[in-house]
A and B are shown apart, each in its own frame.
Chain A
Amino acid sequence: MLNFALRRLSQLLLTAIVSSFLLFVVTEFSPGTVSRQILGPYALPNQVAQLDEKLGLSQSLPRRYLNWVSVLVGLKANPLGDPALGLDLHDSRGERYFGNFGYSLMFKQPVRDVLGEPLRNSALLGAVAMIFIVPLSLLIGILAGANAGTRLDWSISSLCLIITAIPEYAAGVILLTVFVSYLGWLPGTSPLLASEQWSVASQLVLPVTVLALATVGYVARIVRASMAETMTKPFVRTALLKGLSKRQIVTRHVIRNGMIPPLTVLLLQLNWMVGGVVVCESIFAYPGVGRLLLQAGLFGDLALVQTITLLSLAMAGVTQLVADISYVALNPRVRLT
């Protein structure tokens, strides 16, 4: 098991290197350079070229990638922080440290300082959403799958399909109309600052609901399919022939076997949360990473976009690792060779 985990970990490292390079290439090829952004639209081409030279941006792509990684792991100082440039960028952590993501040009601050608060907020949103998503989708999926082919299954499945088909922005707007405009039960924005009227908890309700709606239907359908398939396996019939009741059969024999395939999907939903919350956070003006990513993208803040994307890549890798390991733990048949 340890051997397996270690091998997986080294594969993860390789994936991290390759994907970070691809990410770097893609963002570097986006229109506009850092120098142009710093100098403004009226700067002359030779001024831009001069700054490019100073920042090392005229070097070849692999070299620039190496520079970027060196800054990231703390081997080099970020050229933007050079006081000679007069950009007035400081980093309180010093010039070189591990995890230096550079400066956000939009906020004129180190990326780490910009990212801290939104990251915590998004984590809160994601965690609360997951608390609802996991048990709900499992419960619904198991209920439908264990009764496959019945009217209950049919109603649950169609409801899930309809909910999955509603895009988050539509769900957000519908919820806003009903609960904020008509009923006035909930706040329309979620700045996460407790006001007289709305507590922080009440501000979380709608964003969490939108995320849960978008995910539960999808995951529940996958759980249902896997459960329904497991119900047709001969060992389920064996259990029936032992005279076990349906409840006993489902809880003892079907759930563990039926959960093996959907597990990966469920864990991958975590990733989707990181990237896909953009819409949700924008609708409710929620101060999280998703909204920040949108702003950074619109402004063209390369360092910030790179960092957020890199973080979600890392998250994808780690959840996949967790999924693989729990797959092995659930399934005694998988041979670890």
Chain B
Amino acid sequence: MTPLLQIDNLSLFYGTDQVVRDLSFSIGRGESFGLVGESGSGKSSIANVVIGDMPKIARARGSVRYDGVDLLSASPEQLRALRGRRIGFVQQDPGASLNPTMRIGRQLLEALEQSDIPVRARSENVAEMLSRVGFDNPGAIMARYPHQISGGQQQRVMIAMALLPKPDLVLLDEPTSGLDVTVEAAVIELISDLRTQFGTSLLFISHNLHLVSKACDRVGVLYAGDLVEEAPAGLIFEAPRHPYTQGLVRCLPGQSAVLQPIRGHVPSPSERGPGCLFASRCAYHSSASCDQPFDATTMEASHRVHCARLGEIPAFESVAGVPEVAALNDAPPIVTIRKLRKSYPASGRELFLANDDIDLDIRQSEILGLVGESGSGKSTLAKIIAGFDVATSGSVLIGGTDIARLPVRRRKRGLLRQVQMVFQNPDSTLNPTHTIGWTLGRAIRKLETGHLSRQSIRSRAREMLGLVALLPGLASRKPKALSGGQRQRVAIARALSGKPQLLLADECVSALDVSVQAAIVELLQDLRQRTGTAILFISHDLALVRQISDRIVVMFRGKPMEIGSASQVYSLPLHPYTEALLSAGTGKAEVINPAAVERPKQASGGCPFVERCGRVVGEICWTQKPGYQNAGPGHEIYCHIPPAELIELQKASHAGILIAG
């Protein structure tokens, strides 16, 4: 039987730049195929070719056959018919993918316009599909506007929309980027559920290797437009053969004890030669065999690798294990947070509590990880410490000064030096009209107390560049000339120029590719060692936080649920919320009620987590606030259930799964 989608020797050019080179793969009926690649690998361009929506400057060569029809030579009418009925597409950013001025029901009905279903039955069809993607009340959802539902719900609507015409193939382009971990897990589960129900084929495109290997049968790894390796999903982690895939697995947090970044950068289209594109970053590179075009080698079990020196590449050895546990740090706290509270007026007379009586110490030269889903108040906390926002009540003591209600404009220079921040997006934090040297020099001038000569500022700026492992020559460049990772290094150098006591890093690597991300994490750890700066590392990525942090705080709706050392929190997650978060991250059984995930309501009297908790013990959880219980040295949980009992409960539910399985 011919495959549903067969791509042969596809090359794609944008103008004179080649973005995809000699790509071949196929997807059988009912099969799911994942394409993984970092930014600039051409993965979204491939999706655009399949749906026939390419930019005007694009030229494609090769063949893309969908059920016998060549998509590259199909007429616009043929393509339109395919899109409406046979190929579904789920885009990234569900919020922007729905028309903000049209009710959801109408938008869903439109997806059925090309189908043969009689008009009268369509509404029913839509309602049925909505209930299948997990909405209890389809009628109510259909009457809403997109902004009135949450991001996870929006993505469910998009999935329903793609599935409505009962297509043979659904393309998913980064369907979970921007969603919380728990929501992401629910969406992935929904997708694989629906796939078994409808027998739909999937083309899953993502930068996230974990996710793709979980959701797909086979995985293809893209690098700079080349498909470097194609393998059954299980093999990608266990036995990757291409040096790039091996490198990628090594720099994934949670995969090995130490992150090993891939050095160098993805070659830009003008730097690409005829041979292996990974050559410039490859440890096994030999110009004799790698610099001319060569064919991919097929190994057993549909495992294909595009490498000229495959014979010489050693088999992958995973350095499995947990990250090294740092000795418990007993250094004195440099920041003491007590009863910190921040509330915003919400609808009506209610208050939205972004930070709810937080007590927290940040110790000297430690890396404190702060995890939580969006809306948990982790960024609010960072903003208050940095002075971009002021607390409603409570105190944040640093060196004897309370800065909880001291906005950044009113902070003295000495205080400004002590707390600095690195932001999420390095592209927008650096002024594009100034050189890197100017930006750093200005930070040095503003934070230094004494008068500095022009010469000494310049040498300090170079010194800062050296500190973050950048060449001093970059000082004369503008941000545009730097890669994303280099820009984030500059942003870190800027923050460190005043030798701060505390560095706030709010999602500072989440906009970067994994290979670059690993290098920045390495840099932060190294800087902490060398400068003694404490780092508050805020992220939604659990594996990453574990990799970098000494201690971890798990936040939920403005309240720390669990505080402890990294190994305590990860090896023995006691609080039901931490347990749910970690199981969502690894795909283990969930102890949360998925239908309740998306009801962002504030519990009034009791525990903030009560609505989603799988371990509610009774009325007390709804009516009384729990206190902090000690579960070990430096390990605290915010729960009514005693730690010992929680351990018993966890054992029982794991046993239950074993029996059921």
Chain A residues in the interface with B (C-beta under 8 A)? 149, 233-235, 237-245, 252-253, 256-257, 330-333, 337
Contacts and interface: CB of A to CB of B under 8 A. Distances in A.
B161 A243 contact: no
A242 B113 contact: yes
A237 B53 contact: yes
Given A235-B97, A256-B101, A257-B99, 6 more contacts: A234-B96, A237-B97, A240-B83, A244-B110, A245-B80, A333-B100
Contacts of A240: 53, 83
Contacts of B438: none
Contacts of A252: 102, 110
B78 to A, nearest CB: 11
A213 B111 CA distance: 42
Given A243-B80, A333-B145, A238 B97 contact: yes
A237 B113 contact: no
B71 to A, nearest CB: 14
Contact of A234 (B83, B85, B93, B107): B93
A24 to B, nearest CB: 39
Contacts of A257: 99-101
Nearest to B115: A243
B401 interface: no
Chain A contact residues, majority secondary structure: helix
Contacts of A330: 101
B145 A242 contact: no
A240 B53 CA distance: 9
B114 interface: yes
B51 interface: yes
A239 B99 contact: yes
A242 B161 contact: yes
Contacts of B89: 238, 241
Contacts of A234: 91, 93, 96-97
Interface string B70-90: 000000000011111100110
Contacts of A243: 80-85, 113-114, 165
Interface in B95-150: 96-102, 107, 110-111, 113-114, 145, 147
Nearest to B86: A243
Nearest to A256: B101
Nearest to B95: A234
A238 B51 CA distance: 11
B601 interface: no
B412 interface: no
Contacts of A149: 56
Given A330-B101, A332-B101, A235 B96 contact: yes
A332 B145 contact: yes
B147 A235 contact: no
B96 A233 contact: yes
B147 A333 contact: yes
**Residue from the set B82, B93, B99, B145 with the largest chain A CB neighbour count within 10 Å:** B99
Contacts of B83: 240-243
Interface in B38-96: 51, 53, 56, 80-85, 88-89, 91, 93, 96
A235 B99 contact: yes
Given A333-B145, A333-B147, A253 B99 contact: yes
The 6 closest A-B pairs by CB, nearest first: A243-B84, A234-B96, A243-B83, A241-B89, A234-B97, A235-B99
B101 A242 contact: no
**Residue from the set B88, B100, B165, B347 with the largest chain A CB neighbour count within 10 Å:** B100
A244 B80 CA distance: 7
Nearest to B148: A332
Contacts of B147: 332-333
A240 B82 CA distance: 11
Interface of B: 51, 53, 56, 80-85, 88-89, 91, 93, 96-102, 107, 110-111, 113-114, 145, 147, 158, 161, 165, 347
6 contacts: A238-B89, A241-B83, A242-B84, A245-B80, A330-B101, A333-B101
**Residue from the set B82, B85, B147, B158 with the largest chain A CB neighbour count within 10 Å:** B147
Given A244-B113, A332-B147, A238 B98 contact: yes
A237 B99 CA distance: 10
B100 A332 contact: yes
**Residue from the set A233, A243, A333 with the largest chain B CB neighbour count within 10 Å:** A243
Contacts of A237: 53, 91, 97
Contacts of A253: 99, 102
A252 B107 CA distance: 10
Contacts of A331: 100-101
A234 B165 CA distance: 20
B205 to A, nearest CB: 14
A239 B93 contact: no
Contacts of B84: 242-244
A257 B107 CA distance: 14
B213 to A, nearest CB: 26
A337 B345 CA distance: 11
A243 B112 CA distance: 9
A239 B347 CA distance: 33
Contacts of B110: 239, 242, 244, 252
B218 to A, nearest CB: 24
Nearest to B347: A337
Nearest to B162: A241
A236 to B, nearest CB: 8
B115 to A, nearest CB: 9
A275 B91 CA distance: 49
A238 B80 contact: no
A257 B102 CA distance: 10
**Residue from the set B85, B101, B110, B347 with the largest chain A CB neighbour count within 10 Å:** B101
**Residue from the set A238, A245, A337 with the largest chain B CB neighbour count within 10 Å:** A238
Nearest to A241: B89
A243 B84 CA distance: 4
Nearest to B87: A241
B145 A241 contact: no
A242 B91 CA distance: 12
Contacts of A233: 96
A317 to B, nearest CB: 27
Contacts of B347: 337
Contacts of B145: 332-333
Nearest to A332: B145
Nearest to B346: A337
A253 to B, nearest CB: 5
B51 A241 contact: yes
A256 B347 CA distance: 28
Nearest to B144: A332
Contacts of A239: 99, 110
A330 B145 CA distance: 13
A238 to B, nearest CB: 5
A28 to B, nearest CB: 41
A1 to B, nearest CB: 15
Contacts of B91: 234, 237-238, 241
Contacts of B99: 235, 238-239, 253, 257
B401 to A, nearest CB: 35
B200 to A, nearest CB: 15
A233 B97 CA distance: 8
A245 to B, nearest CB: 7
**Residue from the set A237, A241, A256 with the largest chain B CB neighbour count within 10 Å:** A241
A235 B113 contact: no
A247 to B, nearest CB: 12
Contacts of A256: 101-102
A34 B88 CA distance: 77
A333 to B, nearest CB: 5
Contacts of B113: 242-244
A242 B100 contact: no
A331 B100 CA distance: 8
Contacts of A245: 80
Contacts of B100: 235, 257, 331-333
A244 B107 CA distance: 11
A237 B88 CA distance: 12
Contacts of A337: 347
